[in-house]
Chains A and B, each alone.
Chain A
Amino acid sequence: MKIRTFTCMAATAFALAAATAAAAQSSPPPPSTADADGAFAGRGQFGETTGEKIFSRVCAACHMPDAKGAVGAGAYPALAANKKLAVSGYPAYVVVHGLNGMPPIGSMMSDQQVADVVNYVRTHFGNKYKDVVAASDIKALR
């Protein structure tokens, strides 16, 4: 395992994106590895476009598809029926900045994507919080 993977990947992704933008004037768009949900669109940025897709294709890696978390030597907390989600700023902050071992995964999401996934989780899996987070709220958190 190497330590600089992220830096290298981010730099590469940026350079490739720049090169692609430059080439876009004259040639057709390159084939994409993205699937129907927008997953696998790139290494440095999530491509999923709805809260449901971001949850099922990204967050479920740890919090599990049913949002009930998992337990091993340590645990991933359940997001299902989670009272800590009552104040929207809390999950938004955690997605943007990380918590304990959880990486600041929102760094690879747009403000809108973070807002979408927070709103989705706060209205599903037994959570019934009606207030909505906007992209501008996320921008203020970064």
Chain B
Amino acid sequence: MPPGEVVETGGIAHAIQVMTENIVPPISKRELLALIGRTAGASAMYMAMSSFGQAQASNFKAPIKLDGDPKGTSVLILGAGVAGATSALELSRAGYKVQVLEYNDHVGGRSWTLKGGDTFTELGGATQHCQFAPGNYINPGPWRIPWHHHGLIHYCHELGVALEPFMQVNYNAYVHDTKKFGGKPQRYRHIQADYYGHVGELLAKAVNKGALTDTLTKEDGEILLESLRSWGALDKNFRYVKGRESSGRRGWDKEPGGGLSAVPIPSEPMSVETVLQSGMWRTIGGNLSWDHEFTIFQPVGGMINVGKGFERAIGHLVRLNSKVTAIRQGDKGVTVDYVDTKTGAKMTASADYCICTIPLPILAQIEMNVGAELAAAIRAVPYSTSVKVGLEFKRRFWEQDEQIYGGITSTDLPIGSISYPSSNYGATGPGVLLGAYSGGAAGYELTALPPDQRVAKALEWGSQIHPQYKEEFMNGVAVGWHRVPWVLGCFGTWTEESRAQHYTNLCKMDGRIMLAGEHASYYGGWQEGGITSAIDAIGRLHQHVLAS
């Protein structure tokens, strides 16, 4: 990397890790944090703190307690996704008079699931009728919950939303690149084992050649060698070659058995050049990321169950099918105009304060008297594209033919990845997999196609990885988030510049109005962002109310 070039997140984290491990003479963690803070800025310091376990995983520490009497203060909440629902739940508990207006006909927002019998009408009018068999589904929006999303997990536990493991990494799923290995999918296990093994061997060679003597003492070099043997599955000579050690990682040509046919036959690792030039090692880093590490969960039966959990708790406070058309505040309170989308009736709701969780592309179009800074912030956040396609097949061929139980295959095809269901393993009858999770240019191009053509494209591309597709296909659904009528995109995307200019203005109270949602968080696109932003907002609102 040339000097002066911007270091991306992983680079800084890595640099800090190297610094913390290599600094001689010893330096205290406090001194090091101060040093990092001075040289690399607060965000780098935060990352360094995270690596020491001193920063909180999310700013949700414990259930919020809003002590003190709000004396009948009323709050109008706009939107019943996780941010609005969390606000409604905690404010009503604290004694506020709460009403929620929601555009959709259910609670949950993007915590959403498509299953058999559901219909979805997108912008432009195309309606899909999901035909999946009972028990099959896809989550068009968020689909996984990392262990450190404490807020969301807290509410799942409290609201009776059952969680089960999401199979983020499956060593037996594939890495696929149309331009490598003649387009033949490679098992993730082979890529990871051979990458680790060859890197381990190369580093062991460097140690043995004395190439690291300026960095490591002789004793530490020996420790490193032993660690490389363990990490890379090297043999007694620190080589990654065909044999018991390497096959213990990458698998055998003939697996161990019992009786007379028991003798295993080792498999041949790929060459170091093949592994490096394949570029497939890129998939490993993503799975090591904090956002995707084990344990990572999904709600049993689909993400809609998060919405249903909140609906059980606060559904009585929510007015559904209500489209907000104007938000006005004055000295005494906030008044919101809305239209009943079923009857067309024009209605009005009023309260002392307003928590607004409406996605920014929509809020930017709603008449609203707020200050110039908040108005500019609302208009400063573009929403990302994202497409998911669910495909139902006559049988779970990925389990039956290829022994892939959950997990994700990654590919350079426009579908991006294929994800296999993390539940009901071994079920007979139809199965549904996620046949596309696509963004970038292909995300727009898929969205621009009619839904049935999105499904057809996902089928065509995915059959390069699973030839069974064409024989076994039954039906599919496809959601392009820019066609979702109540968001106009998938989630808010910030840049460092837009955050510096607008983030504080977006979050701070403007008269009697405060915004919340994933767009008002550093967790863009994650439900935890909606929940933590809501808790932050209602905490500040409560302080304001008690003080006034």
Interface residues in chain A, defined as those with a beta carbon under 8 Å from any beta carbon in chain B:
1-13, 15-16, 19-20, 30-31, 33, 39-47, 56-62, 64-65, 70-76, 98-105, 108
Task: Report the separation of the CA atoms of residues A12 and B175 in the bound assembly, to the nearest whole angstrom.
Answer: 14
7 A-B pairs with C-beta separation under 8 A? A3-B291, A5-B386, A16-B279, A30-B179, A33-B413, A74-B366, A100-B361
Contact present for B483 and A61 (CB under 8 Å): yes
Contact present for A101 and B382 (CB under 8 Å): yes
**B288 is an interface residue with CB less than 8 A from chain A:** no
B270-281 interface bits toward A, Cβ cutoff 8 Å, 1 = contact, 0 = none: 000000010100
Chain A, residue nearest B8 (CB): A7
CB contacts (< 8 Å) of B124 on chain A: these are: 64-65, 70
Contact present for B525 and A61 (CB under 8 Å): no
Task: Report the separation of the CA atoms of residues A104 and B493 in the bound assembly, to the nearest whole angstrom.
Answer: 11
CB contacts (< 8 Å) of A5 on chain B: these are: 384, 386, 439-440
Contact present for B440 and A40 (CB under 8 Å): no
Task: Report the separation of the CA atoms of residues A33 and B141 in the bound assembly, to the nearest whole angstrom.
Answer: 26
**B260 is an interface residue with CB less than 8 A from chain A:** no
CB contacts (< 8 Å) of A13 on chain B: these are: 440
Contact present for A1 and B141 (CB under 8 Å): yes
**B373 is an interface residue with CB less than 8 A from chain A:** no
Contact present for B382 and A98 (CB under 8 Å): yes
Task: Give A23 Cβ to nearest chain B Cβ, in Å.
Answer: 8
**B57 is an interface residue with CB less than 8 A from chain A:** no
CB contacts (< 8 Å) of B359 on chain A: these are: 74, 101
CB contacts (< 8 Å) of A105 on chain B: these are: 444
Task: Report the separation of the CA atoms of residues A9 and B379 in the bound assembly, to the nearest whole angstrom.
Answer: 25
Task: Give B458 Cβ to nearest chain A Cβ, in Å.
Answer: 12
Interface residues in chain B, defined as those with a beta carbon under 8 Å from any beta carbon in chain A:
8-9, 103, 123-124, 141-143, 178-179, 183, 277, 279, 282, 286, 289, 291-292, 323-324, 358-362, 364-366, 379, 381-386, 412-414, 416, 439-442, 444-445, 447-448, 457, 461, 480, 482-491, 493, 523-526
Contact present for B493 and A56 (CB under 8 Å): no
Task: Report the separation of the CA atoms of residues A61 and B447 in the bound assembly, to the nearest whole angstrom.
Answer: 5
CB contacts (< 8 Å) of A1 on chain B: these are: 141-143, 386, 490-491, 525-526
Given contacts A19-B279, A40-B414, 16 further A-B contacts (CB under 8 A): A2-B292, A3-B524, A6-B493, A10-B440, A13-B440, A16-B179, A40-B442, A43-B414, A44-B440, A46-B441, A58-B444, A70-B124, A73-B488, A74-B359, A74-B362, A74-B364
Task: Report the separation of the CA atoms of residues A43 and B386 in the bound assembly, to the nearest whole angstrom.
Answer: 12
Contact present for A33 and B382 (CB under 8 Å): no
The 9 closest A-B pairs by CB, nearest first: A72-B485, A101-B361, A74-B362, A61-B447, A70-B123, A1-B525, A43-B440, A103-B382, A30-B179
Task: Report the separation of the CA atoms of residues A16 and B283 in the bound assembly, to the nearest whole angstrom.
Answer: 13
Contact present for A33 and B282 (CB under 8 Å): no
**Interface core residue of B9, B183, B385, B480 (most chain A CB under 10 Å):** B385
Task: Say yes or no: A4-B9 contact (C-beta < 8 A), given A33-B413, A100-B379, A105-B444.
Answer: yes
Task: Report the separation of the CA atoms of residues A19 and B280 in the bound assembly, to the nearest whole angstrom.
Answer: 12
Q: B323, B445, B524: which contacts A73 (Cβ < 8 A)?
A: B323
Task: Give B454 Cβ to nearest chain A Cβ, in Å.
Answer: 11
Contact present for A8 and B286 (CB under 8 Å): yes
Q: B178, B412, B457, B486: which contacts A72 (Cβ < 8 A)?
A: B486
Task: Give B234 Cβ to nearest chain A Cβ, in Å.
Answer: 28
Task: Give B228 Cβ to nearest chain A Cβ, in Å.
Answer: 26
Task: Give B505 Cβ to nearest chain A Cβ, in Å.
Answer: 16
CB contacts (< 8 Å) of A33 on chain B: these are: 178, 413-414, 461
CB contacts (< 8 Å) of B525 on chain A: these are: 1-3
CB contacts (< 8 Å) of A47 on chain B: these are: 441
CB contacts (< 8 Å) of B484 on chain A: these are: 72
Contact present for A42 and B488 (CB under 8 Å): no
**Interface core residue of B361, B412, B445, B487 (most chain A CB under 10 Å):** B445
Task: Give B547 Cβ to nearest chain A Cβ, in Å.
Answer: 34
CB contacts (< 8 Å) of A76 on chain B: these are: 123, 488
Contact present for A103 and B493 (CB under 8 Å): yes
CB contacts (< 8 Å) of B141 on chain A: these are: 1
Task: Report the separation of the CA atoms of residues A29 and B282 in the bound assembly, to the nearest whole angstrom.
Answer: 22
Chain B, residue nearest A43 (CB): B440
Contact present for A57 and B412 (CB under 8 Å): no
Task: Give A13 Cβ to nearest chain B Cβ, in Å.
Answer: 8
Task: Give A69 Cβ to nearest chain B Cβ, in Å.
Answer: 9
CB contacts (< 8 Å) of A31 on chain B: these are: 178-179, 183
Task: Give B524 Cβ to nearest chain A Cβ, in Å.
Answer: 5
Q: A12, A43, A59, A64: which contacts B441 (Cβ < 8 A)?
A: A43
Contact present for B414 and A15 (CB under 8 Å): no
Contact present for B448 and A57 (CB under 8 Å): yes
Task: Say yes or no: A101-B323 contact (C-beta < 8 A), given A16-B279, A74-B488, A108-B440.
Answer: no
Contact present for B382 and A104 (CB under 8 Å): yes
Task: Report the separation of the CA atoms of residues A81 and B323 in the bound assembly, to the nearest whole angstrom.
Answer: 27
Contact present for A43 and B179 (CB under 8 Å): no
CB contacts (< 8 Å) of B358 on chain A: these are: 73
Contact present for A58 and B382 (CB under 8 Å): no
Chain B, residue nearest A34 (CB): B414
CB contacts (< 8 Å) of A104 on chain B: these are: 382
Contact present for B178 and A45 (CB under 8 Å): no
Contact present for B447 and A74 (CB under 8 Å): no
Contact present for A3 and B382 (CB under 8 Å): no
Contact present for B439 and A44 (CB under 8 Å): no
Contact present for B9 and A102 (CB under 8 Å): no
Contact present for A103 and B442 (CB under 8 Å): no
CB contacts (< 8 Å) of B381 on chain A: these are: 101
Task: Say yes or no: A102-B382 contact (C-beta < 8 A), given A7-B8, A73-B103.
Answer: yes
Task: Give A71 Cβ to nearest chain B Cβ, in Å.
Answer: 8
Q: A10, A40, A56, A72: which contacts B123 (Cβ < 8 A)?
A: A72
Contact present for B482 and A61 (CB under 8 Å): yes
CB contacts (< 8 Å) of B488 on chain A: these are: 62, 72-74, 76, 101
